[in-house]
Chains A and B, each alone.
Chain A
């Protein structure tokens, strides 16, 4: 069945440094890969997404890359700020059209 694995589970960086979170997916028919940010006590909110017809997408300090051959995609946050501290989830939609999430990465940006 469909599965999404996410690493690392926790990530601590110094303010201003970059953070990278990686995910792999099992369903080769997956074609949509969103990333969500969830702050404590709040709902997950989309921060960026990518479709399978592109390899990279950027939005200010956030970028996502997709390698369809290897079935993995990554989130890159540059110039991290304390307000980037949150839990980040990758997800994928596969052939069954259901949205499957990774287990999450808790990012801590140290001032």
Chain B
């Protein structure tokens, strides 16, 4: 599969636990985005990377959220001390930097905090 892959597909966790999600972008893509999507809403921008550099993080994002892309390939999104309000679909997308081309989405990780 040469598309964007995310792991896990589903995660159920207890409130207060930490969770980490992984995204493997399309191999030649140097831009990587993380979004959060709740039912009936559009993807909400969380953060994005160009190669290994994290260029921007949403001001709405709490300090409990952190993302890395250490070698400019796969990325991880960690949520510490999860809250029920963190329950959502977390989507990753990747694209080529040049000429602002199509962003391809992964299947997402559905997080449920109980």
Bound-state Cα–Cα, A15 to B52, Å: 47
A residues in contact with B102, CB < 8 Å: 34, 46, 49
Q: Which of A89-108 contact B (CB under 8 A)?
A: 89, 93, 96-104, 106
B33 touches A99 (CB 8 A): yes
Interface residues, chain A, CB within 8 Å of chain B?
A: 6, 31-32, 34, 43-46, 49, 51, 89, 93, 96-104, 106
A43 touches B100 (CB 8 A): no
A99 touches B56 (CB 8 A): no
Interface residues, chain B, CB within 8 Å of chain A?
A: 31, 33, 35, 40-45, 48, 50, 55-56, 91, 93, 95, 97, 99-100, 102-108
State the total of A-B contacts with C-beta under 8 angstroms: 56
Q: Known contacts A6-B42, A98-B56; is A43 also within 8 Å of B91 by CB?
A: yes
A43 touches B106 (CB 8 A): yes
Q: Known contacts A97-B55, A98-B48; is A89 also within 8 Å of B33 by CB?
A: no
